[in-house]
Structure 1
């Protein structure tokens, strides 16, 4: 039986059943909390991945810390969504060369990818553009033609990177995570594969649960802080009438805020949702003098504790917040 020597005292390894296995676990680094949660679920019983964008930080505005750089240098496997979301990671990952296995999960087979939206009730990137005041039904259906037009309005090939807000996309990413971990650490392949099967079942159950939560309010229009929710919207048929800003890196000007204030009344928006990482006073201005209520959505899990259950807490939280505000509860 192997033994451990601590401060000169030899202790049988029998008292530390996880020590040997933890030492054998690959060093895995993840970019954001939702991805960390999926990787954590698949790695349970083997090890715990490290997280770069922790706490209430946002990948849209994050600056890499020295401790993050060290973690990347030591990593055997790195998971991120891709340069469209975590732009701050693009150059550091290029500098790593082939020292680590790097998986961009926006390349996972089977993903549904939706293009950025512009125009209508959604902000065009050129602040000088005119904004269409058509109703939500006129500009905001889910058909392929609308998606194609939106893609043409944005950079060619660009897509919304908030992919995890559809549980079926989470399943596709989990499959890629599993394949990557098995290739990097075949000794623990059976554990990864068993955990992945269990995760798939949980994601299917979550999908059905969310559909039931939002069903009573899915036809009520609302406005969000930035256009991060179209995967959730696309999956569950809810009505996002517009966003205060398309890009959270850009603070909207007075004209834009005034326009959204008008649209709250025009579109009959029931709620306007803030996000914990960004300026909540803008939402107060937007709803002032209207019947709309305010709520909070947290698409990147800024307020949640990292771990294997975070993804499920995140998705249930979004569904419950929508139902609560839109039903007046």
Structure 2
């Protein structure tokens, strides 16, 4: 009996040491949704370092000295790519010479949707004239330069199938960087993929009753979510979150809300909510909040699921009112 006890103790000690016996690689991740996927796959091995923390937005982020130090020390760095985190492009070139830098926008199996031009999603609107035409062109050009090096929408994680493609690339990279912990990365990734599939089925069911009701968003961040779940985003208040719309643009969106009978207009936590009040004033549209980059959520393995459920819940709650 004593021998059996010793054997069980030895086995437990062995499996405990699988994740702890070798030093975990230093992993740095740009934004919260991607960090959540990486943290899930690294569970039991180590914790990745997040750059865009708290309520900060990648659209307006400035790198801190501690972030630069983490990049310089990193073994692996995950980011969406220069089309989304423009602030990281030059620091990675200068500081990450010894790291494996993975652009997840290049992950095999991703579905990429074309970048949409204009606050109301028209590819070309020849009715814009004068000052508003100039404002619209300038805002669209700035947004394309700073966040769309390629002609596709970079909010890729808002389709769970893209999150699965990213997770597969994260797993592959970590296994190559740290083969001693390969079995744990693989087991964690398999569990994550199953969890994402369950989430996808849950969101389809939740959104089915409201998917045909039109609504307006603060900026055009939700195309992948729309495409996956068939919800009816009718336009955005601003072309780019860095460029606040002028009076003419706000007037046009107000008119669009009235004409479409849009049931809800959604703000975002990091940006000016009073614009939503202006756009909905005098209409029957309600207001709500969507958080596509998880500004209000605590980072960690569960964040991706909280983010996606939060989007679906906010949409369903606002769009269901008055029915």
Specify if TM > 0.5.
Answer: yes
Other-structure match for 2:229: 236
C-alpha change, 1:102 and 1:127, in structure 2 (3 Å) is: farther
Q: 1:38–1:308: 8 Å Cα contact kept in structure 2?
A: yes
What is the aligned partner in structure 1 of residue 91 from structure 2?
A: 92
Deviation string for 1:49-105 (max 9, x for gaps)? 000000000101100000100010110000000001100000111113530000000
Answer yes or no: is the 8 Å Cα contact 1:55–1:302 preserved in 2. yes
Matches within 5 A, 1:130-169: 157-169=150-162
Q: How much is the aligned-residue C-alpha RMSD, in angstroms?
A: 2.5
Give the whole-Å Cα distance in 2 for the aligned partners of 1:322 and 1:181.
35
TM-score, L = length of structure 2: 0.86
Instruction: Answer yes or no: is 1:265 the counterpart of 2:258.
Output: yes
Q: Is the 8 A contact 2:19 2:45 kept in 1?
A: no
Contact 1:29–1:49 at 8 Å: present in 2 too? Answer: yes
Q: For the structure 1 residues 18 and 252, does the alpha-carbon distance in structure 2 shift closer, same or farther, using more than 3 Å as the test?
A: farther
Q: CA deviation at 1:158?
A: 1.6
Q: CA deviation at 1:121?
A: 2.3
Q: How many pairs are equivalent?
A: 293
Q: 1:296 aligns with which of 284, 289, 313?
A: 289
Q: 1:278 to 1:157 in 2, by over 3 A?
A: same
| Alignment partner, residue 10 of structure 2 | none
* Cα separation, 1, equivalents of 2:58 and 2:298: 16
What is the CA–CA distance in structure 1 between the aligned matches of 2:49 and 2:124, rounded to whole Å? 35
**Structure 2 spans left out of the alignment, 5+ residues:** 1-12, 130-143
Deviations 1:29-57 (A, max 9, x none): 00000000000000001000000000000
Structure 1 stretches (4+) deviating beyond 3 angstroms? Answer: 17-20, 123-130, 154-157
> CA-to-partner distance for each residue in 1:155-180, whole Å, 9 max, x for gaps?
78421110000000000000000011
Structure 1 portions without partners, runs of 5+: 1-13, 131-150
SS at match of 2:102: strand
CA apart distance, 1:122: 2.5
- In structure 2, the partner of 1:146 is none
Structure 1 residues 34, 269: closer, same or farther in 2, change over 3 A? same
Q: Structure 1 residues 184 and 175, CA, compared in 2 at 3 Å: closer, same or farther?
A: same
Q: Distance in 1 between matches of 2:188 and 2:180?
A: 15
The 8 Å contact of residues 171 and 200 in structure 1, kept in 2 or not, is answered as: yes
